[in-house]
Structure formats: C-alpha cells, structure tokens
Amino acid sequence: MDTQQLLEAAQTIDILQSMFAGDKNEWLPVIAAIGGAFVGGVSTFLPSYLLERRKLKQEIRSVETALVSEVSALLEVIEHRRYVYGLEESVYYLEHHPDKKKIFSVKIPVHYSRIYQEHISKIGLLHPKLSAKIIRFHQLIDSGVQDISAGGFVAETGGDVHDFEELLEIFHTAIKIGREIVGKKYN
C-alpha cells in the first residue's frame, strides 16, 4: 500500500468516527415510543375491528334470513288458506248484488308478524331496497288484517264491492312485494 492509499484510508476512518462519535440523536427515543404505541394500538384495534365486523355481518345475515323467512311463511299461509280467493269471490258476489254488504272474517293471531316486530329496530342494517320492501309488505298486510280480523269493519259490519276491491288490491300488492322479497338476494 502506498502513502496516498494510506492517507485516503485514514480520512475514511476519521469520517466514520465522526459520524458515530457525535452527540446521540435526542429524537430517537421519542420516535421509538410513538412507533411502539402505534404498533401496539393497531395490533389491539385490528383484531377487535375484524371480530366486530364479522359479528355485524352475521347479525345482518341472521336478521335478513329471519325476516325473509317470515314473509315467505305469510305468503304460504295466505295461499293455503285461500284468502285472496275468498276476497275475489266476495267481489264477484257484490258486483252482482250491489245493494248488499258482505262480511269477511278471519281469525288471525296477534303474533302473526312476531319476527318483524322483534327486528324492526334492526331493519336499517339490511340493504335499503330490502328494508323498504319488508316494511311496505308488512304495512299492507297489517292494513288488510285490521279489516278482516275481529273488530275490523269488513269482519264486523261488512263491506261493499268497493271495500272488497280495495282490500283485494292491497293483498295483491302485498303478495307481489312478498314474492319479490323472497325471490331476490340483496347482499
């Protein structure tokens, strides 16, 4: 090694020593503490967030399944008990006897829409179109039930052809909406 190379090596060693021999960086502990807190916060938040998100998705799926199943069951009851057919017969009769009234009474339990009543506070969790259809379906069915169950005007005093046509239209609309609810996936 010649003299020039030795001088260059000595200068390099001096430069390296000056880099490490100087005052320590005062910000390094602060940066380390902030970084540690951030990593600690993320590591505790992320699993909790993922678990809560999973629970929410399961709750949404559960509420949707329950409400759609109830709509499906109500449609089956309406079909099997032939309520629409009875209303259609009443309209036909009243069209041919316009001066008469007809009583149409059905015994319907108070709890026929129990699942809807229990989950109404969670209906906003569902897809907005599904929520709107479920609410509309139940409001229409409730309206019809009020008329044909004990205490309802069609059940007690009877109705004319106009009353029965209106009631029939309400049930047709509710059934159409109910079939849309049962037939579609919203998530």
The model's confidence at residue 106, banded by pLDDT at 50, 70 and 90, is very high
pLDDT computed for residue 13 by the predictor: 63
Q: Which two tokens stand for residue 171?
A: 């049930």
pLDDT at residue 181 tops 90: yes
Q: How many residues does the chain have?
A: 187
Please give the average per-residue pLDDT across 96-125, as a whole number: 93
Asked if 167 and 148 touch (Cβ cutoff 8 Å), the reply is: yes
pLDDT tens digits, one per residue of 116-156:
999 999 999 999 999 999 999 999 999 999 999 998 989 99
Task: Tell me the whole-structure pTM to 2 decimals.
Answer: 0.74
Q: Which two tokens stand for residue 143?
A: 């309206």
pLDDT computed for residue 40 by the predictor: 72
Please give the average per-residue pLDDT across 42-55, as a whole number: 79
Instruction: Tell me the Ramachandran region of residue 82: left when phi exceeds 0, alpha when psi lies from -120 to 50, beta otherwise.
Output: left
Contacts of 87 (CB under 8 A, 6+ apart): 104, 164, 167, 168, 171
